[in-house]
Chains A and B, each alone.
Chain A
C-alpha cells in the first residue's frame, strides 16, 4: 500500500534558525496536505498543494510539491517558539477519494 515517509523524525533548532521537513511518497499523489499538531493537541490543517511543482507561502512557511508529485517539503524561516509541534504531510491518492495517508511526522522543538 501507499507509504509516506518524512525526514527528519525530530529536529531541534535555536529560535530564529530555519527549519525544513521533507515528505516522500511511495506512489504518485493527486494532492498533498500539511497539518500541524501542537503538543497534546490535534492535527490542524495548514495547506493543500495540487499542482506539480506548486509552491505556496504562508507568512514564514513555504510549501513545495515536487514535479513528479511524489515529494513535498515545508520550510519555516526564522523559527519562533509558536512553531513548536509535529508537522505531518498527508497524501491523497486520487481526487474523489478522500482517504489521506499521513506521513510519519517531524517533531520540531525550539531552543529559546
Chain B
C-alpha cells in the first residue's frame, strides 16, 4: 500500500495568495483528518471527515480555512487568503472507523507551507 499521499510536499507562497493542499487517504479507510503542526502550538486537529462528511471542524482557525472531501479517495484543505502565521506543516491522516473503537491513524508525509 502506498500509504497516505499528500501534495505538494513543500509550498512557498506570498501573503494573500490562495493555497490548496491535497490528500489521498489509504484505500479502504473511511475517516480522514487534517492536522497542523507548529513549534508553538504542537499538533492540532483542524477537521475530520467520516465517509466524506465533515464531522468536527471546531479546530479550523477561521473562515480563511476550508476543507472538502468530494469522494473517498481525495480531500483538499484550502487557505484563502494566506497569511504568514499560517506557516506550518500540515498533515493528513486516515483511519478505518470500526464500531466502538478509536482506530490507528496513519499520517501522510506532510506539506510544509511557508507564507512570506
Contacts and interface: CB of A to CB of B under 8 A. Distances in A.
Contacts of B95: 98
Interface in A76-106: 88, 92, 95-105
Chain B interface size, under 10 / 10 to 19 / 20 to 34 / 35 or more: 20 to 34
Interface stretch (A10-18, A41-49, A57-65, A67-75): A41-49
Chain A interface size, under 10 / 10 to 19 / 20 to 34 / 35 or more: 20 to 34
A98 B109 contact: no
B104 A96 contact: no
Interface string B73-97: 0000000000000000001010101
Contacts of A96: 99-102
B15 interface: no
A100 B100 contact: no
Q: State the 5 A-B residue pairs at the shortest beta-carbon distance, nearest first.
A: A92-B102, A42-B107, A102-B43, A45-B104, A95-B100
